[in-house]
Amino acid sequence: MPALHALANPARFLSIAKPLTPWLVGLGVALIAVGCWAGLTRTPPDYLQGETVRILYIHVPAAWLGMGGWTGIAVSSIAFLVWRHPLAHVAARSIAVPGAVFAAICLVTGSIWGRPTWGTWWQWDGRLTSMLLLFFVYLGYIALARADADRGGDGRVPALFGIAGSVLLPIIRYSVVWWNTLHQGPSIGLTKSTIDGSILWPLPFMIAGFSCLLGGIVLMRMRTLLAVTKAEARMRRMARS
């Protein structure tokens, strides 16, 4: 535990985050470029869905990172409440906006994909509805964290909300198993996939690329929030002197 507290030290974090951020962003952009090139030019159309299957290269990473972002918020919130890590609340706030963006991308691409596949832009399907709820929960967390910061709160209320919101994650994950809906069942597992390998192989590039990009964005936002906090503390000291 002392080692974790040492890593959570803002000065030590900044010394690592500053050089790491451009590497993550650059690697993410490069992997996404490779994945897009491969997915658009080196894979065949699906025998049923045709060219629309290529939406999966955006939709699947966005869905995973939308859920992964809230997982990061929940873990950071637990660390903040239990161990009072100084950077945990900053990390949770930094994840919220990009996580919400990925959830929104998931919903938009899912609707675009659903139009030719299901014949409708939207269906109150278990997976789609639970993902929409997660997007609204993201917005609620962003508003709550901002209001808490504006009134000088200690961050406990947003942290509790971050933990409570994680109840949606297993619902999203298993919605296609629990309910008979339009959305297809689980297609990609740890050991096997129902998607043919000739179509699937660019997907890891896209997932890795978007993950690196998300990591770089979160680090940038954390550095920004720390800089704002430092500037506000300096202004308060100057006002008192």
pLDDT at 69: 97
HSE on the CB side for 214, CA within 13 Å?
Answer: 27
pLDDT at 28: 98
Which residues in the chain come in under a pLDDT of 50? 1
pLDDT at 195: 80
Among residues 13, 24, 4, the alpha carbon closest in space to that of 223 is found at 13
pLDDT at 4: 53
Contact criterion met (CB below 8 Å) for 86 and 178:
no
pLDDT at 36: 97
Interatomic CA distance for residues 57 and 61, integer angstroms = 7
pLDDT at 31: 98
- H-only helix segments in 151-202: 156-164, 168-178, 197-200
pLDDT at 178: 67
User: Residue 19 burial by CB count (10 A; 0-12/13-18/19+): exposed, middle or buried?
Assistant: exposed
| pLDDT tens-digit map of 138-160 | 999 999 999 999 898 889 999 99
DSSP-assigned beta bridge partners for residue 188: 193
Q: Where along the chain do its domains lie?
A: 20-184+204-240
pLDDT at 114: 84
